[in-house]
Structure 1
Amino acid sequence: MGINRKTGNRWRYGRKVVDRSGREHVYLPITEERNSSAGSPRFLSEDERIVIADLLRARKSLRAIARELGRDPATSSREVRRNRDPRSGKYHPFQAQRRAAVRRARSKEGKIGRDPELKEFIQQHLDRRWSPEQVSQVLRSAFPDEPDRHLVHETICQAIYLPHRGGLERTPGVLRTGRRARRRRRRVDQRTTRSGYPGEPVSQRPAEVSGRLVAGHWEGDLIVGQGNRSAIGTLVDRTTRYVKLLHLPDGRTAEHVRDALVHTFISLPADLTRSLTWDQGSEMGRHDEFTRATSVPVYFCEPASPWQRGSNENTNGLLRQYFPKGTDLSIYSAEDLAYVAAELNDRPRKALGWRTPSELFAKLVATLE
């Protein structure tokens, strides 16, 4: 045929191509038998349209046609109305198939792309590291009398991943995952079991901790920097989701973590320092000294059970937007940590009815004064 051998291999085995935007395009082998009329079962196939045409000629009702196809009556009614010949009013299955294919292939600009003001509003909040769901909720309060600007979070995600749907910036930092393309969710347990640390187990915590009805029960952990040489301590209140960050400029030994925790908990009202839950890391080796200094009991999670302090795990994931893995965390000052904590505490949370942790925490402090 006068073609290159590599071209023939691509025709026979197919290939994958990644474009400049990072999207992956798959080209199937041309030798594979493919039914051009087949597609998603959501849509009518060419064979089903032939059945519709035959039954219409037999003067069957649209409901009878739907029963024959195993479809909803609205599907057959909509198909005939949208894809029949506009001049004669007759239904031709092959013409209907072509019309449907052209309609699906036609690109459609989304609401965000058509509304510059809305696009700028969403982009500004994404730049502040808000999630699409948080932006979706704030649109309802920002534009209360404009329902056309009330979007679900999936619309915002599509505007990021599909440029023709909205044109939002598609940089790695826009979304929390940092990915340029969407990926199916996977829950693979890759954590290794750590050695247990003697102390009160999480099962001994008061019942009020599990109910999240009383503030002052905190969860804590460390996020570690490059080469495990630097770290930042993270604390989150289970009830209000209020975040406090521990500055550890001199190291992350048990002594450093103890001192940072004592300094933080002493600055809080006594009614907001009821307990602390931590994993079984060696940085809590001086937990008994911390308890004697603050009267705050410490409870330890079971090995490989991060869900027992789920609020803190979620918070650590949010913090990785500001402190990516593999970076030196010692370069950040206490002022930098206070700024990040304030930005997190000013985000509306779904678990709080779209109120902010700062709002709830401030109300609690005011009632205790």
Structure 2
Amino acid sequence: MRLRKGRHGGVVGAHPPPLDGDWVDEHGRLSQAGRALIQIRRSEGRCPARIAAELGVHRSTVGRELARNTRLGRYHAAAAQVMTEQRRPRPRPSKLAVRADTGVDAGVDAGVDGGAGEVLRAAVLVRLNNRFSPVQVSQDLRRCYPGRDDMQVSHETIYQALYVQGKGSLREELKVEKALRSGRTSRRPRSALPPRSNRSWIGAEAHISHRPPEAADRAVPGHWEGDLVIGAGGRSALITLVERSTRYALIRRLPLTHDATTVAAALVTMMTNLPESLRRSLTWDQGSEMAAHTTFTLATGCPVYFADPHSPWQRGTNENTNGLVRDIHPKGTDFNHVSDADITETERLLNIRPRQTLNWDTPADRLQQLLNVAPTT
């Protein structure tokens, strides 16, 4: 648009500077005074862009306000304020919350029958006491109570209820020692994560992005994930390996040291008993204990790939396995005082567990099926 000077100076078509006034609140939303100014200017025939310039807001703010709150072709500030407040969402208490002042189930306030809310809370507690994860609790309730919205709850709601401090916390009513396998009572913000470090011994070709695509869908066996479970004071460790397709676990004790040379030698011993067809890849985190990974690869023909820093989901099967190991050998265990026979028994217990993801087969059964058909070279 071409601008021209007006008869009394100024520029015709230019927007006026913002007026002084409390036109928006601390969140940048239009205030009642801002809506009153919109009503006045609209009655004067001003366009939304010029009104927005006076309010000091984007013109789309005024455009949306007029579109939402104009009735019968007219905009009234008082009516617009009422309609906006009615549309504003109100925080709803969680299905699992208990009102702190009375101890009454807050499901009543959430639009859920009080009795049903208590039943839901009890059902969640039973499953948590049976060491179900929040995701498993949510899915099991969906399976047991199909079509009943009052008996459904998301895993996020369960996590929030477990993290809540004070009266009404689910953790207060649990019988098990830990509400979550990690034992964590609050979420760790990303700012609390350690800074990323450079690992010069990890070549670009060893990044997880170069891992064969067949490893991702678990259809082809022979792709493993590994990690260390560190003992008390860092004086001992376990090597844990888990095959992605069968979930079969291998565990070996490192009682004296877990430096790169020792870890590579132990991995060679653990993997060489397997057929070559079951040694397709190994995925590890970026711990320095794998600095000698080329030695392992030369001895076994199994390439090693490294996950991104702070990305445990890229090795989720192994993270789950380590959690199961910690159920048997809690944090603070000194593996110098645990026998190799105990570790063998731990390995056996993990591999004879029926797994839902395996259609209730055991990892031992699945691996045996592969060994019965796999070539020996």
Range class of TM-score, shorter chain: 0.5 to 0.7
Per the alignment, do residues 235 and 75 of structure 1 end up closer, same or farther by CA in structure 2, a change over 3 Å counting? farther
> What is the letter of the counterpart of residue 135 of structure 1?
V
Structure-2 residue corresponding to 1:70: 64
Measured in 1, the distance between the counterparts of 2:121 and 2:143 equals: 16
Structure-1 residue corresponding to 2:159: 157
Shift of 1:225: 2.1
Q: 2:269 aligns with which of 250, 262, 266?
A: 262
Measured in 2, the distance between the counterparts of 1:48 and 1:127 equals: 55
Q: 2:241 aligns with which of 205, 223, 235?
A: 235
Q: 2:347 aligns with which of 335, 338, 349?
A: 338
Q: Is residue 193 from structure 1 mapped to residue 198 from structure 2 by the alignment? A: yes
Question: Which structure 1 residue ranges, 5 or more long, are not aligned?
Answer: 1-34, 59-66, 78-89, 349-354
SS at match of 2:256: coil
Q: 1:180 aligns with which of 176, 182, 185?
A: 185
SS at match of 1:151: coil
Structure-2 residue corresponding to 1:298: 302
Q: How does 1:193-232 map to 2 (within 5 A)?
A: 193-194=198-199, 196=201, 201=206, 206=212, 208-209=214-215, 212-232=218-238
Contact 2:264 2:292 in 1 (8 A): no
Shift of 1:214: 1.3
Q: 2:32 aligns with which of 35, 47, 50?
A: 47
Shift of 1:163: 6.8
Please identify, of 168-177 and 279-288, the stretch whose mean Cα deviation from structure 2 is larger.
279-288
Contact 1:218 1:237 in 2 (8 A): yes
SS at match of 2:225: strand
Structure-2 residue corresponding to 1:168: 170
Structure-2 residue corresponding to 1:244: 249
Structure-2 residue corresponding to 1:14: none
Shift of 1:248: 0.5
Question: Which structure 2 residue ranges, 5 or more long, are not aligned?
Answer: 1-21, 44-60, 72-77, 94-98, 100-104, 373-377
SS at match of 1:148: helix
Contact 2:223 2:244 in 1 (8 A): yes
Identify the structure with bigger relative contact order (alpha carbons < 8 Å, sequence gap 6+). 1
Q: 1:131 aligns with which of 107, 122, 133?
A: 133
Shift of 1:230: 0.9
> What is the letter of the counterpart of residue 334 of structure 1?
I
Contact 1:217 1:238 in 2 (8 A): yes
> What is the letter of the counterpart of residue 225 of structure 2?
E
> What is the letter of the counterpart of residue 70 of structure 1?
R
Q: 2:106 aligns with which of 105, 109, 131?
A: 109
Shift of 1:216: 1.2
Structure-1 residue corresponding to 2:48: none
Per the alignment, do residues 166 and 144 of structure 1 end up closer, same or farther by CA in structure 2, a change over 3 Å counting? farther
Contact 1:252 1:283 in 2 (8 A): no
Per the alignment, do residues 178 and 39 of structure 1 end up closer, same or farther by CA in structure 2, a change over 3 Å counting? farther
> What is the letter of the counterpart of residue 347 of structure 2?
A
Measured in 2, the distance between the counterparts of 1:337 and 1:265 equals: 21
Q: 2:282 aligns with which of 276, 281, 285?
A: 276
Measured in 1, the distance between the counterparts of 2:34 and 2:243 equals: 59
Measured in 2, the distance between the counterparts of 1:288 and 1:226 equals: 28
Structure-1 residue corresponding to 2:120: 118
User: What CA deviation, in whole Å up to 9, does each residue of 1:72-93 have, x standing for no partner?
Assistant: 988999xxxxxxxxxxxx9897
Shift of 1:229: 0.9
Measured in 2, the distance between the counterparts of 1:201 and 1:75 equals: 59
User: What CA deviation, in whole Å up to 9, does each residue of 1:143-196 have, x standing for no partner?
Assistant: 234343222222212322347996411588323554434454448552433462
Structure-1 residue corresponding to 2:4: none
Contact 1:226 1:328 in 2 (8 A): yes
Contact 2:206 2:304 in 1 (8 A): yes
Measured in 2, the distance between the counterparts of 1:367 and 1:317 equals: 24
Measured in 1, the distance between the counterparts of 2:332 and 2:66 equals: 54
Structure-1 residue corresponding to 2:54: none
Per the alignment, do residues 49 and 234 of structure 1 end up closer, same or farther by CA in structure 2, a change over 3 Å counting? farther
Shift of 1:215: 1.7
Measured in 2, the distance between the counterparts of 1:141 and 1:76 equals: 47
Q: How does 1:13-28 map to 2 (within 5 A)?
A: none
User: What CA deviation, in whole Å up to 9, does each residue of 1:5-28 have, x standing for no partner?
Assistant: xxxxxxxxxxxxxxxxxxxxxxxx
Per the alignment, do residues 76 and 183 of structure 1 end up closer, same or farther by CA in structure 2, a change over 3 Å counting? farther
Measured in 1, the distance between the counterparts of 2:370 and 2:304 equals: 30
Shift of 1:249: 5.8
Per the alignment, do residues 346 and 161 of structure 1 end up closer, same or farther by CA in structure 2, a change over 3 Å counting? farther
Percent identity of equivalent pairs? 26
Shift of 1:136: 1.8
- Which has the larger Rg? 2
Per the alignment, do residues 273 and 141 of structure 1 end up closer, same or farther by CA in structure 2, a change over 3 Å counting? farther
Shift of 1:234: 1.6
Shift of 1:135: 2.4
